[in-house]
């Protein structure tokens, strides 16, 4: 995407990866950058939603520090279980788990992640009594499930699909209203009767600029992103990495963000999740 924008603008687009602290370092740096159009932030939804909900004294506020330009990709997640569990979908798992109330555990990439919120919501809603087992990253979620350390979890389709096809994991439901092209035989969460918006939220990637960036610059960037994301090679590059390419307009992005944040905030409050556990 950076190369494509560079060609359109006739100048180099330098990509600087700022990892660490759950994305806080990179987003904070972008928030403090000069609003002259030379700094563009590409980040994932967790840094703008989950971090705000779970990290105290966060050095940035999305509403205050950024202008929304557009979402460019989405990563679909799938609820998966250990392959030995005798169920074929999420509805059957609920019945099986209810018969083992208080005996099961669910694994997530960490406290406050989307997987944590979704699975704890199901846990409370159905009174399953499952114990939360937070890990450090999605790869360890997959490992724990394959090793039968935990019973159920949630991971990106891109990382779980190979293990599902190999029979090492059992796919129970794809998060969202539609099935995944990578797992066409796996029902969606909506098909499984989960109508709460929280069960349709997937991770996305979005582009933002510092809040006081001149509007004409932000508008031009949004238009250029629309053109770049329509390119077949760019779309293929995202798809190869397990992302569904997209290109929303600034107003759509902001409205979607606000609706999702509201839903997540409400759900987190109702679950009374302790950030330390």
Q: Is residue 141 part of a domain?
A: yes
State the pLDDT confidence band at 118, using cuts at 50, 70 and 90: very high
Domain boundary among 200, 229, 255: 200
209 and 217 Cβ atoms separated by less than 8 Å: yes
Q: Is residue 104 part of a domain?
A: yes
pTM of the model as a whole: 0.89
Residue 196 and residue 166 share a domain: yes
Q: Is residue 94 part of a domain?
A: yes
Among candidates 194, 180, 173, 203, which has minimal Cα distance to 78? 173
For the segment 125-137, what is each residue's pLDDT rounded down to a tens digit?
Answer: 999 999 999 998 8
For the segment 216-229, what is each residue's pLDDT rounded down to a tens digit?
Answer: 999 999 999 999 99
For the segment 83-114, what is each residue's pLDDT rounded down to a tens digit?
Answer: 999 999 999 999 999 999 999 999 999 999 99
Residue 73 has pLDDT above 70, yes or no: yes
Question: What local confidence, expressed as pLDDT, does residue 273 receive?
Answer: 85
Residue 81 has pLDDT above 90, yes or no: yes
Residue 169, domain CATH? 3.40.190.10
Residue 104 and residue 11 share a domain: no
More confident site: 42 or 136: 42
Q: Is residue 188 part of a domain?
A: yes
Residue 262 has pLDDT above 60, yes or no: yes
Joined tokens for residue 269: 């409050």
Residue 259, domain CATH? 3.40.190.150
For the segment 1-25, what is each residue's pLDDT rounded down to a tens digit?
Answer: 999 999 999 999 999 998 888 899 9
Residue 252 and residue 187 share a domain: no
Name the 3-class secondary structure at 195: coil
Residue 237 CA: distances (Å) to CA of 9, 64, 215, 244: 21, 32, 30, 10
For the segment 176-200, what is each residue's pLDDT rounded down to a tens digit?
Answer: 999 998 899 999 999 999 999 999 9
Q: Is residue 277 part of a domain?
A: no
Domain boundary among 184, 200, 216: 200
- Ranges of H-type helices in the chain: 2-9, 24-32, 45-48, 50-54, 62-65, 90-98, 114-125, 138-146, 157-165, 215-228, 232-240, 250-271
Q: Is 29 exposed, middle or buried (0-12, 13-18, 19+ CB in 10 A)?
A: middle
Residue 276 has pLDDT above 70, yes or no: no
Q: Is residue 15 part of a domain?
A: yes
Q: Is residue 276 part of a domain?
A: no
Question: What local confidence, expressed as pLDDT, does residue 80 receive?
Answer: 98
Question: What local confidence, expressed as pLDDT, does residue 272 receive?
Answer: 87
State the pLDDT confidence band at 277, using cuts at 50, 70 and 90: low
Domain boundary among 200, 227, 246: 200
Residue 93, domain extent: 77-200
Residue 145 and residue 34 share a domain: no
Joined tokens for residue 89: 């979908």
Residue 241 has pLDDT above 90, yes or no: no
For the segment 155-184, what is each residue's pLDDT rounded down to a tens digit?
Answer: 999 999 999 999 999 999 999 999 998 899
Residue 190 and residue 221 share a domain: no
What percentage of the chain has pLDDT greater than the value 70? 99
Residue with tokens 């919120």: 117
Q: Is residue 186 part of a domain?
A: yes
Residue 66 and residue 133 share a domain: no
Question: What local confidence, expressed as pLDDT, does residue 213 receive?
Answer: 98
Residue 242 has pLDDT above 90, yes or no: no
Residue 91 and residue 68 share a domain: no
Per the structure, the count of domains in the chain is 2
State the pLDDT confidence band at 121, using cuts at 50, 70 and 90: very high
């Amino acid at each position: 995407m950076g190369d494509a924008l560079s060609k359109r603008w006739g100048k180099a687009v330098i990509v600087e990866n700022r990892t660490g602290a759950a994305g806080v370092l990179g987003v904070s740096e972008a928030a403090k950058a000069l609003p002259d159009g030379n700094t563009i932030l590409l980040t994932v939804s967790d840094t703008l939603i989950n971090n705000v909900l779970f990290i105290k004294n966060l050095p940035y506020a999305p509403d205050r520090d950024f202008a929304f330009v557009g979402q460019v990709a989405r990563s679909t997640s799938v609820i998966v279980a250990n392959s030995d569990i005798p169920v074929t979908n999420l509805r059957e798992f609920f019945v099986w788990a209810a018969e083992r109330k208080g005996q099961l555990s669910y694994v997530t990439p960490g406290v406050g992640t989307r997987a944590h919120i979704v699975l704890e919501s199901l846990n409370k809603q159905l009174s399953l009594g499952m114990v939360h087992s937070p890990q450090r990253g999605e790869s360890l979620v997959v490992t724990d499930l394959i090793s039968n350390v935990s019973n159920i979890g949630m991971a990106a389709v891109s990382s779980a699909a190979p293990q599902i096809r190999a029979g090492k994991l059992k796919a129970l439901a794809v998060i969202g209203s539609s099935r995944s092209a990578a797992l066409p035989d796996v029902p969606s969460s909506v098909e499984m009767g989960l109508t709460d918006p929280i069960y349709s939220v997937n991770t996305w990637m979005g582009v933002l600029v510092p809040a006081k960036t001149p509007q004409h610059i932000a508008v031009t960037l949004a238009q250029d992103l629309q053109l770049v994301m329509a390119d077949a090679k760019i779309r293929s590059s995202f798809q190869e990495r397990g992302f569904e390419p997209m290109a929303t307009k600034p107003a759509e992005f902001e409205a979607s963000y606000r609706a999702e944040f509201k839903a997540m905030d409400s759900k987190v409050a109702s679950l009374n999740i302790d950030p330390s556990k």
